[in-house]
Structure 1
């Protein structure tokens, strides 16, 4: 495993690289994370089963999008590869030393990224991933169609295939479309924007684990409010820079249903109850 990693990093650096120390970090699901170094360069290596290769490739493309079209600090991809048993991705290791959190700057950077409007359609040229579940990104001209079908309908169908039917999917998709028929333009979204994927390094705001696509910017804001809301300073600064449209609170309930459904598909348990409760609230 590590011989392959050494070889691929060496090819990228155009000089020999040999791991002299590795430390296993906190992992996510079945994906194992390692900090590796040769005494000079430091990298983060994510390791998973062979079939995770497509997910790692999607992550690398999402990182490229953020690096190109935002001012956030994002760890670049060094290399991606496979062994007989595993797939892996090697990333820059950004320092996470104790530093002052600048949520005002984070808000301004997000608003700036959301305000570029360089895409005319909703979606992405390729599917992306959140955790280990695929996010279909077929292009749509109408936002309400994209989110209702490619996000909510998709997750509900995955649950149904597991024997869990929270609601009549066709009818609910129509309801979602009616709630999202507001005037919005495609913004580049981080796609998995919550506190756990935001950190600060050397005075800059850093984003991790992107699941990018072009959509309504309110999706990023709504997701940030779901599990671990960001400081009030962030929301105040964002609204001053790029105010949310009227009716956001209604749409927020819809946008937050998506990560609830995704977690229900991944982990079941109480997430199923939360998803069912949110579906019922939307139907009222």
Structure 2
């Protein structure tokens, strides 16, 4: 496989490349991350099963969207390919060591991206993935329909197929449609926005692992607040450009149910309990 990686990088660069150093960085489920380099170039290589090829291609498209429509630092996709047993994705290496986190600018850049309203529909022209889970993105004219069906309903159905029925799916999806706002402008979303997918190159904010689509900008914020809270400087920067709306407690609860259901499908355990508790909160 690594010969194939060298060959495809060489083809993309239009010059010979052969790495002289390879270091494994981490593993996430079946996906392994490597840093490879020669004396001139360094790259991040994601390696997974052959079936991950479509996921890598979808992620590359999301990275292209962020590059086009935001001022975040985004690593270029160098090449995507496969061998007999594995698929791989080669990305520009962004050095995030010895960096100074500039959370204010991170918030400002996200708000500016969210302020762009160049799409009239909700969804995306193709499906993508969060980790190994498919994220359907059928185009919808109504935000409440898209989020209720393609986000909440989809995840509940995946759990039901495993024999885990948290709620009557049809009734709950109908309820979500009535509870969500009906007048939302589509914004480009990162789609998996939390501290683990944010880093800094010197003081420049970088984003990783997107699963983009067009939706309510508050989805990105709600997801970030569910996990490790972002520093106050992030919200200060965001609010200078796009002041956060007030009285969004129920909406935030609904938006945070989606990543809880994602985690329940991926990892089960305590996430199932948290998802069930969140559903009960919404039903009250």
TM-score class, shorter-chain normalisation, is: over 0.9
Q: 1:276 deviation in Å?
A: 0.5
Aligned length: 284
- What is the TM-score of this pair, normalised by structure 2? 0.98
**Which residues of 2 match residues 38-77 of structure 1 at below 5 A?**
38-77=38-77
Q: Secondary structure at the match of 2:122?
A: coil
Q: Secondary structure at the match of 1:225?
A: helix
Question: Is the CA contact (8 Å cut-off) linking 1:198 and 1:207 kept in structure 2?
Answer: yes
Q: Give the Cα–Cα distance (whole angstroms) in 2 for the partners of residues 14 and 244 of structure 1.
A: 47
Q: 1:184 deviation in Å?
A: 1.2
**Which residues of 2 match residues 130-141 of structure 1 at below 5 A?**
130-141=130-141
Q: Give the Cα–Cα distance (whole angstroms) in 1 for the partners of residues 225 and 112 of structure 2.
A: 19
Q: Give the Cα–Cα distance (whole angstroms) in 1 for the partners of residues 241 and 117 of structure 2.
A: 15
Determine the structure 1 residue equivalent to 2:108. Answer: 108
Q: Give the Cα–Cα distance (whole angstroms) in 2 for the partners of residues 133 and 228 of structure 1.
A: 22
- What is the TM-score of this pair, normalised by structure 1? 0.98
Determine the structure 1 residue equivalent to 2:193. Answer: 193
Question: Is the CA contact (8 Å cut-off) linking 2:108 and 2:240 kept in structure 1?
Answer: no
Query: Which whole-Å deviations, capped at 9, do the CAs of 1:96-137 have from their partners, x for residues lacking one?
Result: 121211111011100100001000000000001111101100
Q: 1:39 deviation in Å?
A: 2.1
Question: Is the CA contact (8 Å cut-off) linking 1:218 and 1:248 kept in structure 2?
Answer: no
Determine the structure 1 residue equivalent to 2:120. Answer: 120
Between 73-82 and 91-100, report the one with greater CA deviation: 91-100
4+ residue stretches of structure 1 with deviation over 2 A?
244-247
**Which residues of 2 match residues 144-183 of structure 1 at below 5 A?**
144-183=144-183
Query: Which whole-Å deviations, capped at 9, do the CAs of 1:183-202 have from their partners, x for residues lacking one?
Result: 21000000000000001103
Alpha-carbon RMSD across the aligned residues, in angstroms, is 0.9
Q: Give the Cα–Cα distance (whole angstroms) in 1 for the partners of residues 281 and 6 of structure 2.
A: 52
Q: 1:277 deviation in Å?
A: 0.6
Question: Is the CA contact (8 Å cut-off) linking 2:142 and 2:182 kept in structure 1?
Answer: no
**Which residues of 2 match residues 254-269 of structure 1 at below 5 A?**
254-269=254-269
Q: Secondary structure at the match of 1:117?
A: coil
Unpaired segments ≥5 residues, structure 2: none
Change (3 A) 1:163 1:262: same
